[in-house]
Structure 1
């Protein structure tokens, strides 16, 4: 009987921790998605306000550099 209790307890703990982990992952995914949306909107506003082609190319170069750095971290 104690072995069954220990087995059930470990299964309940695993279930609760997996649900908690799932909730945390969903929260982080939503937060990151919202942040990316706001960043995209801000970049669009900056892009529309910049007049010179050189400034637009500089901004684009910075964004591409940041994306490239992010890609290297994932690998």
Structure 2
């Protein structure tokens, strides 16, 4: 009987942890996609207000630099 109890307990723990992990992953996905949408909208507004090509290239360079910051530097 104790072996069955231990088995059931481990199954319940795995089920709960997988559901919790799934909920956390779904929350993070929603949060990141919402944040990306807001950043995209802000960048579109900035891009529409910039007139000179040099300024647009500078903004694009900054955005690309920020996007590449997460990459690891090869040593």
Residue number in structure 1 paired with 2:17: 17
Quote the offset at 1:67 in angstroms: 1.4
Give the 5 Å matches for 1:25-64. 25-64=25-64
Could you tell me the TM-score, scaled by structure 1's length? 0.91
Find runs of 4+ consecutive structure 1 residues off by over 3 angstroms. none
Residue number in structure 2 paired with 1:67: 67
Quote the offset at 1:66 in angstroms: 1.1
SS at match of 1:15: helix
Q: Write 1 or 2 for the structure with the bigger share of helix.
A: 1
Q: Deviations over 1:39-62 (max 9, x none)?
A: 001000000001111111100000
Could you tell me the TM-score, scaled by structure 2's length? 0.91
Runs of 5+ in structure 1 lacking a partner? none
Q: Deviations over 1:11-49 (max 9, x none)?
A: 001100100010000000000001001100100000000
Alpha-carbon distance in structure 2 between the residues aligned to 1:64 and 1:10: 47
Aligned residues: 73
Runs of 5+ in structure 2 lacking a partner? none
- Cα RMSD, aligned residues only: 1.3
